[in-house]
Amino acid sequence: MDIREIKSIIEGLLFVAGDAVPIKELCTIISIDETTLRRIVNQMMDNYSDEKRGLQIIEVNNCYQFCTRPEHYEYIEQMVKPQTRQGLSQASLETLAIIAYKQPITKAQIDYIRGVKSESCVSRLLDKELIIEAGRQEGPGRPILYRTTDNFLRLFGLKTLMDLPPLKELSEDGLDLAK
């Protein structure tokens, strides 16, 4: 199989899948090793970018996915007329940030960090599929642990959690401890 055929197969698989496809699954289907697959997909990503095509391939958490270019949003929006989407409140964004940086984390730990109850924020983030239940903590009551989803990574343009910006630690009086 030549490289053009492999690229064609990858395009077809990503198009049909719609959602992100794990790299290992692509390797199994095409019968090539992960290093070769990554090299080919990176070439494809560069070609899509260099040619300013309407689609791009993104990597999210060791998965690849087709998506449209962000700069075409206003045109695509006119075509698909998305449902009105409510943004996240400041409280929900705070809760999401805490979960992203401290995961897996319990609701009680989130409440302690925020200083207020976070029940409705956690519920809203679950509904929007930005977080999921990640098991239960050992100990009394076995509270639910929460973590972010691949949807969170996609929406915030991150490949992995390692791409989160560094967290500034603040002292009790609000001073930046990183200085």
Listed residue (33, 44, 49, 56) closest to 5, CA to CA: 44
The pLDDT value given to residue 175: 47
Q: What is the mean pLDDT of residues 13-40?
A: 94
- How does 49-66 read in b/e, with b if 16+ C-beta sit within 10 Å? eeeeeeebbebbbebbbb
How far apart (Å, rounded) are the C-alpha atoms in residues 177 and 167?
11
Percent of the chain at pLDDT exceeding 90: 71
Q: Is the pLDDT assigned to residue 139 strictly greater than 90?
A: no
The pLDDT value given to residue 179: 46
If pLDDT is split at 50, 70 and 90, which confidence band does 132 have? Answer: very high
If pLDDT is split at 50, 70 and 90, which confidence band does 173 have? Answer: low
Regarding predicted confidence, which is higher, 175 or 16?
Answer: 16
How far apart (Å, rounded) are the C-alpha atoms in residues 158 and 142?
31
If pLDDT is split at 50, 70 and 90, which confidence band does 77 have? Answer: confident
Q: Is 146 exposed, middle or buried (0-12, 13-18, 19+ CB in 10 A)?
A: buried
The pLDDT value given to residue 108: 93
Listed residue (148, 108, 142) closest to 125, CA to CA: 148
* Distant-in-sequence, close-in-space partners of 104: CB < 8 Å, separation ≥ 6: 134, 135, 137, 145, 146, 147
Domains in the chain: ranges and CATH: 3-79 (1.10.10.10), 90-163 (1.10.10.10)
How far apart (Å, rounded) are the C-alpha atoms in residues 135 and 177?
32
How far apart (Å, rounded) are the C-alpha atoms in residues 148 and 100?
6
